């Protein structure tokens, strides 16, 4: 009976020593994942309704390998950037995806664009643009 108590107390002592280590590893892993997510998430493209519509059209053009429509979307995005409706970081990211598609890597560009679109959060009032000439 004394031998049995000794084995149980050794197991308890072992668990008590390793539990804080395991807990610290789990916390460090969760913190590492949070930092990875924070540093790798795509930039936000703002709240402009016109930007969202144009990026949606760009995705359709990339998925269908439509170079002409993709070029039109690229020009529209450039004008939206110049008018300060599209943040520079988001515009640069979209330009990189367009370049990837132009180089022939359509599927990879489409996946990146999809991930970019899914990561967007429309926080704040939605910015509507008036039609041309009004």
Using one digit for the tens of pLDDT, what is the confidence trace for 10-58? 667 777 888 888 888 999 999 888 887 777 778 999 999 999 999 999 9
Which residues does residue 48 pair with via DSSP β-bridges, in sequence order?
127
Using one digit for the tens of pLDDT, what is the confidence trace for 72-116? 999 999 999 999 999 999 999 999 999 999 999 999 999 999 999
Q: Is the pTM of this model over 0.85?
A: no
d(CA 28, CA 64): 43
**DSSP structure class, residue 48:** B
Kindly tell me the sign of the dihedral angle through the C-alpha atoms of 42, 44, 45, 48.
positive
Say if residues 115 and 42 touch (Cβ distance below 8 Å).
Answer: yes
Contacts of 43 (CB under 8 A, 6+ apart): 87, 89, 90, 92, 93
């Amino acid at each position: 009976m004394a031998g049995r108590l000794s084995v149980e107390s050794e197991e308890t002592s072992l668990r008590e020593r390793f539990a804080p280590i395991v807990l610290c590893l789990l916390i460090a892993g969760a913190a590492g994942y949070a930092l990875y997510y924070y540093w790798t998430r795509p930039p936000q493209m703002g709240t402009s309704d016109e930007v969202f519509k144009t990026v949606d059209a760009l995705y359709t053009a990339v998925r269908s390998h439509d170079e002409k429509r993709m070029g039109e979307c690229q020009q529209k995005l450039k004008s939206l950037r110049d008018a300060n409706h599209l943040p520079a970081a988001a515009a640069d990211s979209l330009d990189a995806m367009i370049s990837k598609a132009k180089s022939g890597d359509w599927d990879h560009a489409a996946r990146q664009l999809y991930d970019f679109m899914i990561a967007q959060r429309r926080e704040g009032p939605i910015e509507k643009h008036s039609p041309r000439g009004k």
